[in-house]
Structure formats: structure tokens, C-alpha cells
Copies of this chain bind each other. A is one copy, B any other.
Amino acid sequence: MRPDDISDVRALPLFREVRDETFDGLLRASFLQRFPPGLVLIRENERADFLHVVVEGAVEMFASSAGRETTISFARPVSAFILAAVLKDQVYLQSARTLETSRVLMIPASSVREAMTDDAAFMAAVVHDLATAYRSTVKDLKNQKLRTGAERLANWLLRLDSEQHGTGSVEIDVEKRQLAARLGMTPENLSRAFAALKQHGAIVRGMRVEIVDRDALIAFARPDPLVDDERT
């Protein structure tokens, strides 16, 4: 494991305040592995043996039941995923697969649980991380239940624009099929949602979207900090 990677992982909210010996102990038992795109890292219903941390690349969390499948979320560097299953010593509720070539740090579940009982600072960080993940899922649920697909897209565009300095010209940084999955719809539906947004001030051309009438787009999207804001 390269020194750069170590310091990136160390900088995670989950590990930042932790004692050195706790962090070293966690790393000693772990290993970093490189995976090709499309590889399934975790299958739901398997026992949670490791806490995974995406160090490089991108991972999609998804879930299936009765033959249907849906995307739950994406994990990008540097972040940990499925902490809850590890803590409860339970099976995963979600599956995970790489979207690109990715490097993933795998920390044994038992080490995580030990570190938590030994180091109060780590346990406090775990509490914070869990609370954040929980609230993020509640926001997803609200986004899904309270909005149509086109509205979810419009709000996603507004957020992306503000991340890209609010110039009104947005570069889509993911494949559209991935974007469709993230927004909880089919690729066909995403196409139609883009077409529908022409009426509301957003024009798409390839991977670039021009927000020509921000007020109209906002009026259509009706953004809500309790759904869209990352920080709260």
C-alpha cells in the first residue's frame, strides 16, 4: 500500500480522529486489492466479513429481489461502504460491483469491531458516519417518493452546476445509463426526461447540458435542502 493511499484513508472522517495504534491495527489486518471493471465485490445475503473502502475507481451499490434489480447508490474515493452490516455482524443487504478498474481496501469485520470497543474516538466517528449514511438514505427515499424522474434529473443538474462553479454549462461526468440508474429510472426514461427539460430551460447536447434559463429550471425542479443538500 502506497504512502499516499494510506494518508488518503487516514484522512477519512471515519479514521481522522482515531489513535495511531488503532489505525495501524486496522491496516495491519487489511489488504488492498485491485479489481477490474464490472466485478462483483459483495453479494447481498453474504456474511459481512470486511469493511470496504474505495481508494480509487468507483463502486455501485445495488440490490435485487424476485428477479428485479435497482441501484441504491454509488461510492467514490475515498469512502467506506456497508459499515452497518459489519457492525451488526450480519449479512449484506446490498451488493457492490466496480464500475471501473478500482482499488479497494478490505478491513476484516472483526478488526473493525475490536477497534470500536478499544478506541472511543473511533466509535464516535462510527456513530457520526452511520448517522450520515442513515440520513442520506432517508433523503434518497424522499427524492424517490416525492418526485418524478424529470424532477430528480432537474435537481441533479442544478446540484452538478453548483459543484461546477455555477457557469450554467454542465459537463455530465458519468455514462448516461449509470446516471439513469442513480436517478432510479431506465435509460429510455432518462432520454425522455432530458427532452422534457427543454421546456424548462435546460438543453442537452451529448455530454453537455446548457442551463439557458436557471429560474425556469429551479421553478420546475423545486429544490429542497432536506432532499438535495449533501451536508445536512
Contact = CB atoms under 8 A, between A and B. Distances in A.
B141 A140 contact: yes
Interface residues of A, number: 51
A88 B120 contact: no
A146 B64 contact: yes
Number of copies: 2
Given A146-B63, A226-B91, A124 B117 contact: yes
A68 to B, nearest CB: 5
Interface in A44-66: 44-45, 63-66
A66 B219 CA distance: 10
A189 B187 CA distance: 28
Interface stretch (A125-133, A162-170, A202-210): A125-133
A94 B138 CA distance: 9
A145 B69 CA distance: 9
Interface in A104-132: 116-117, 120, 123-124, 126-128, 130-132
A192 interface: no
A42 to B, nearest CB: 13
Sorted nearest first, the 10 A-B pairs with minimum C-beta distance are: A66-B222, A84-B131, A134-B134, A130-B130, A70-B145, A65-B224, A65-B146, A137-B137, A87-B131, A84-B134
Interface of A: 44-45, 63-66, 68-70, 72, 83-85, 87-88, 90-91, 93-94, 116-117, 120, 123-124, 126-128, 130-135, 137-142, 144-147, 151, 184, 222, 224-227, 232
